[in-house]
Amino acid sequence: MQQTPLHDEHVAIGGKVVDFHGWALPVQYAGIIEEHHHTRAAASVFDCSHMGEFIIRGANALHSLNELLISDVLGLRAGRGRYGAILNGHGGIIDDVVSFKLAEDEVYLVTNAGPLDTVAALLAEAVPESENVSASTAKIDIQGPASRDALVRAGLGGIEALKYFAAGRFEWRGTPLVVSRAGYTGELGYELFVPNESVVALWRALLAIEPVKPAALGARDTLRTEVGYLLAGQDFDESRTPLEAGLDRFIAWETPFNGKDALLAKRDAGGYPVLTGIRTLDRRAPRHGFEVRKNGTVAGVVTSGTFGPSVGYGVGLAYVPRELAAPGTRLTAGPKEIEIETAEIPFYKNGTCRQD
């Protein structure tokens, strides 16, 4: 397994390390539910250094990048970010990505770990000017209502001005950072893109601030599922399109992009399943791979599922026919026929991510 620059830190504070897409990452420290609640109430730091980062500079390079993404980065204002995806020629999702426009002619592209090599090869071919900085960049996410205050107390000045889904270049103790106000929890939070050689010092500085604590993959999964955020390779892969995965609102139909013709054909033909929120009627959790049934007949499949510590019932995502996706539709899931119903997301509605 590959190790992040923070691996020894995780081991030293008792992190339980597992294999995540070939990376040795902690799944929990004190416990998943405890870390979940602490993030919702205060602030937690997560090691997300397994993710990929690319810098794309220049007008021509940005035009080339735009033709790879379903989202329009050319129309994005400097300092802002936009969620999107990279598709194959059949419209299938290779990866979901976030583009932060740091300047009029510069985009900072963030990708997932699983498809990183595929994305890197695509960018090298389609946008040869792109710079892959993944190997030299670590990433810390600090999430929770107290995250802004913690960063200011740690000496990261200027981040107070960042609005939701904004990003910029900052400095901490002489180290240049890229910081975005974003994350994967639904709470106020920031992503810190840090040179490898400086990340241990920053990690320790944040953990020295009350009430910041470490959190790991387990809590990250329960937090993101409660707010309906998708997981690459689980809620979608190259066999699913943005139309099925519920990402159609992010498609810039007016721009050319790889896979667009296939998406148009699918949109016009209709009849495809859609990803929808599901909740159980008790504390039992739906699980990845559970069959979804309507009146005993298989109608779909669960892609994500867990107990939602903040809501007190099982939550998840599932592909079902569109006619069964209306909120409140009663279904069952899994071998024990757990009663579920389709539901609007987010399940947890008190997140602080957009607060001023």
pLDDT in tens, 194-222: 999 999 999 999 999 999 999 999 999 99
- CA dist 243 and 250 (Å) reads 10
Q: How many CA atoms lie within 13 A of 353 on its CB side?
A: 22
So what CATH class is 273-356? Answer: mainly beta
CATH fold match for the domains 2-48+134-226 and 273-356:
no
Please report, for the chain, the start and end positions of each structural domain, with discontinuous segments joined by +: 2-48+134-226, 273-356
pLDDT tens by residue, 267-295: 999 999 999 999 999 999 999 999 999 99
Q: Is the peptide bond before 335 cis (omega within 30 degrees of 0)?
A: no
Whether residue 50 contacts residue 20, with contact meaning beta carbons closer than 8 Å, is answered with yes
Residue with tokens 């241990």: 200
Neighbours of 161 (CB within 10 A): 10
- DSSP letter assigned to residue 219: H
Question: Which residue do the tokens 């569109």 mark?
Answer: 322
Q: Which CATH architecture has domain 2-48+134-226?
A: 2-Layer Sandwich (3.30)
Residue 346: asked if its preceding bond is cis (omega within 30°), the reply is yes
The span from the CA of 147 to the CA of 156, in Å, is 11
pLDDT 10s digits, 288-343: 999 999 999 999 999 999 999 999 999 999 999 999 999 999 999 999 999 999 99
pTM: 0.97
CA dihedral in degrees (336, 338, 339, 343; nearest 10)?
Answer: -150
Are 203 and 6 in contact by the 8 Å Cβ rule? The answer is: yes
Residue 21 predicted with pLDDT over 90: no
